[in-house]
A and B are shown apart, each in its own frame.
Chain A
């Protein structure tokens, strides 16, 4: 991501050159990894056990980083899923003689399903409570493993199964378990590497940082959260499967301290990076051998180091290295001053026609959004909306105005599905959608923007725009683990990038595409939001105060964009305070006051109405 954001207009040839260079680096890295594996598989037991334990924890740390880094779910249940994998393998192998390779898919499925179940149960509560519930899950599992002595061997635990030996003619391969463990670690790294290079990654981050935005784009947020957490649990289960070959499986190996240690690994190495968790795992698991002092002193040192790591380096080791590299490549030149000047230039840019956005012009003039008798109130407080009736015709721009607190945004949230009305109906294209999730509306070609832009700050403007395409590309989530390897996926990826670029040039923000949203001015954030809505080619858009915080030039630019969207037959409901911007655009205007509709009419009728002048224009 950093390499993309560094240059605003890369020439084609340098892009290809860079691609080749990256491929070369990748090949060297893979080759190095294979050489390392060969070396370890032929070295002595001491080195082998060090590397293998580090590798197993590396897998565990990657699995945790999938939940923490990509979805923001601070799971302390990773030790639990790890235990499930290890115990399942050991018990079924020792007591029932099951083949260990047959146990691998079983382990994956079992820990994945339990993970999804725990995820589904814990997602009722968010943030900190998620950490606490998963923490308790681990706590309970350890207690079960300790107390069910007949099955688990109690505190002493059980000796794990032996990894099968190869026939003597294959002795040149070295120790097979080394190949197995390091192979799995490689696959896990490849999996997250691929996901980070697929369009699913912006979708995941939008769920993490801007859930309403993802929802409005038609992303089934909770399903993805539960399934992805299940995947992370399955990976932890695989780590447990591997761990059982390394020695004794006992409750002490999986207690809550282990779950926290895995989090230490992720935080020390670098959250949401491919290499970070592995680096952290190597450091933490080899730490006792590195210092080799009195065990109590060593623990004290470890505690101090983990405090220092989280307080001093919030980005972890990888984050710190990146920062240094960035500083070196940037050479101190600061482009902050240019940014505002550029934003002004963007506002002057003419609105281009983009080919990929569908045209809905000439599709009739029937009612497409209708509210009938909407009533709504927050909690036990007074009602905010009373018996609202609203009808919007296809191809119209419908303005929604009213003083602060009159219920405009609440109505927008009811129409777009973030809130479900206590009474009344919402019809989109004749379908009753009140009480249904926002996804149901996204499928009907309905999109919305937010008053305060909800975007992923660490991703680029173009990547944020691509989130809007989520439901236009089939099976993004299923293909993401192999994304860069699938020709069809690469094709779709290129198309998505093209569409995002078109949408950005439609709103006049084309050359901002590579910048990360955290670095762009407010006006561009608003345009990005608009682009991510337009990119899906919706025919109905709800805009919640799109002109808030824009400069006069930018407002003018926005009006041009909206006018051109109207020409394409897009129906719009616009909530706005700036009547000077709004009235010239609108076909109809509805005025709300204290949760009731005062008047619906043309802009001129509204302007002339005495009651409106009194409650809203203050005359």
Chain B
């Protein structure tokens, strides 16, 4: 019980980062390898500003805004120039990683490679659920993840802008032809995605403290979560992937041994990809094939 709940809590964090990866992938068909580093920037800035005496809420807002700005920059510098030459080029594999390297080492250069303290927020509250106990921060993570996921899905399906995003995802040339400004759509997607990553950072900061190398760890887990869930097709699936990953990791620690979370999630990932190469909740998944095919949409 304890491991399921704490798994869901950490899984919501992975899920938020996975969704951040999935949202930009959805619109531009690229993976922003700097996503984890965007989260790290939020964490580092918030830690630094609050340590310098800025109110925590202001520090958090500044942290989020700066990760959004960097997110947009990563698009303009590392992704857009490549897609403009050839929409199907894979150069972004290299350039987004280059951007991640710059952010990570820039942070290490400015703040030093050691961990700093992070505002405590809700971590000292204890919330007993059944026979398990979560801290306030974990509960907050779950609640925030649920709210953001629902909000994202409502915006994607119900608003005009969400539909514009879908159109851009399916065929950017066509979307452009009917008058959509795909650059604006992409920039908004990168802002939203950086917000998701930054919020994930704020939620996990009190537990992990602020460290320049936070980004690569969480970036990798977010990526795995996205692949488990099949977030490359539907951003929401990435959130479920995160939850599964979280429960698997915590469960492995609780049931196998304390080191098992280092390798068990990877085993799960490999098995899932062998069964369904595009993730558990993708349309090619055997799980989905069990459902009757939906009536042909006109």
Q: Considering the complex, which residues of chain A in the window 118-132 have a beta carbon less than 8 Å from any beta carbon of chain B?
A: 121-122, 124-125, 127-129, 131-132
Whether B270 pairs with A131 at a CB distance below 8 angstroms is no
Whether B95 pairs with A310 at a CB distance below 8 angstroms is yes
Whether B259 pairs with A303 at a CB distance below 8 angstroms is no
Whether B94 pairs with A260 at a CB distance below 8 angstroms is yes
Known: A76-B93, A121-B274, A139-B220. A299 touches B101 (CB 8 A): yes
Q: Considering the complex, which residues of chain B in the window 81-127 have a beta carbon less than 8 Å from any beta carbon of chain A?
A: 81-82, 85-86, 88-95, 97-102, 104-106, 108-109
Whether A133 pairs with B273 at a CB distance below 8 angstroms is yes
Q: Which residues of B contact A133 (CB under 8 A)?
A: 273, 277
**A380 at interface by CB-CB < 8 Å:** yes
* Residue tally, chain B, CB below 8 Å to A: 43
Whether B78 pairs with A307 at a CB distance below 8 angstroms is yes
Q: Which residues of A contact B78 (CB under 8 A)?
A: 307, 311
Q: Considering the complex, which residues of chain A in the window 529-579 have a beta carbon less than 8 Å from any beta carbon of chain B?
A: none
Neighbour of B296 across the interface among A76, A314, A380, CB < 8 A: A380
Neighbour of B98 across the interface among A125, A296, A304, A381, CB < 8 A: A304
Q: Which residues of A contact B266 (CB under 8 A)?
A: 139-140, 143
**B227 at interface by CB-CB < 8 Å:** yes
Q: Considering the complex, which residues of chain B in the window 131-165 have a beta carbon less than 8 Å from any beta carbon of chain A?
A: none
Q: Which residues of B contact A381 (CB under 8 A)?
A: 296
In the complex, the number of residue pairs spanning A and B with C-beta atoms less than 8 Å apart equals 112
**A297 at interface by CB-CB < 8 Å:** yes
**B263 at interface by CB-CB < 8 Å:** yes
By secondary structure, the B interface counts as: helix
Q: Which residues of A contact B105 (CB under 8 A)?
A: 296-297, 299-300, 303
Beta-carbon nearest neighbor of B97 in chain A:
A260
Q: Which residues of B contact A451 (CB under 8 A)?
A: none
**B234 at interface by CB-CB < 8 Å:** no
Known: A129-B277, A307-B95. A296 touches B263 (CB 8 A): no
Neighbour of B29 across the interface among A128, A146, A311, A380, CB < 8 A: A128
**A184 at interface by CB-CB < 8 Å:** no
Beta-carbon nearest neighbor of B102 in chain A:
A303
CB distance from A327 to the nearest CB of B (A): 19
Whether A314 pairs with B85 at a CB distance below 8 angstroms is yes
Whether B273 pairs with A310 at a CB distance below 8 angstroms is no
Q: Considering the complex, which residues of chain A in the window 51-87 have a beta carbon less than 8 Å from any beta carbon of chain B?
A: 74, 76
Question: Which residues of A are at the interface with B, using a C-beta cutoff of 8 A?
Answer: 74, 76, 121-122, 124-125, 127-129, 131-133, 136, 139-140, 143-144, 146-147, 257, 260, 263-264, 267, 294, 296-297, 299-300, 302-307, 309-311, 314, 380-381
Question: Which residues of B are at the interface with A, using a C-beta cutoff of 8 A?
Answer: 29, 31, 77-78, 81-82, 85-86, 88-95, 97-102, 104-106, 108-109, 220, 224, 227, 232, 259, 262-263, 266, 269-270, 273-274, 277-278, 293, 296
9 tightest Cβ-Cβ pairs between the two chains A and B: A303-B101, A299-B105, A310-B91, A303-B102, A303-B98, A306-B98, A296-B109, A311-B81, A307-B98
Task: Jot down 27 A-B pairs with beta carbons below 8 A, ordered by A.
Answer: A74-B93, A128-B90, A132-B232, A136-B227, A139-B224, A140-B269, A143-B266, A146-B262, A147-B263, A257-B97, A264-B94, A296-B108, A296-B109, A299-B101, A300-B102, A303-B97, A304-B98, A307-B94, A307-B95, A307-B99, A309-B94, A310-B95, A311-B77, A311-B91, A311-B95, A314-B86, A314-B89
